[in-house]
Amino acid sequence: MVKNKNFLLAGLLASLLLAGVASFYASSSPDGLEKVAEDIGFIDSAKDHANADGALADYGVKGIDNPRFSTGAAGVIGVLATGVISTGLFMLVRRKSGSEK
């Protein structure tokens, strides 16, 4: 059990480090769909989605002016949110499968 905890903790720390630091160095080039829209010429007809003004829109945290910190904070928030949601789902599935025995 200790081995699993150490492994999970190391994975969490690596994920947080990558999300918080390395995410700033990701490519700023447009993604595939945006690139095709530019190449074909219909990028001007694109509309913002419902969450375009959200707190984590455009790979940053709204209200943080430093782009490096904003991108890193958004990455860390994403890792933590994914961890909390997936842990909750795993625990729910484990309880259900354990109660059927």
What confidence tens digit (pLDDT) does each residue in 42-101 have?
989 988 888 888 999 888 999 999 999 999 999 999 999 999 999 999 999 987 776 665
How many C-beta neighbours within 10 Å does residue 97 have? 9
Query: Which pLDDT score is estimated for 25?
Result: 86
Structural domain including 80 reads 2-26+55-99
The tokens of 35 are what? Answer: 């690139």
Q: Quick check: is 31 in a domain?
A: no
pTM for the whole thing? 0.75
Q: Quick check: is 47 in a domain?
A: no
Query: Which pLDDT score is estimated for 101?
Result: 55
Q: Quick check: is 32 in a domain?
A: no
Q: For the chain, how many structural domains are there in total?
A: 1
Q: Quick check: is 90 in a domain?
A: yes
Give the mean model confidence (pLDDT) for residues 2-24: 91
Are 74 and 60 in contact, with CB atoms under 8 Å apart? yes
* H-helix or E-strand spanning residue 3: helix 2-20
Give the mean model confidence (pLDDT) for residues 7-22: 94
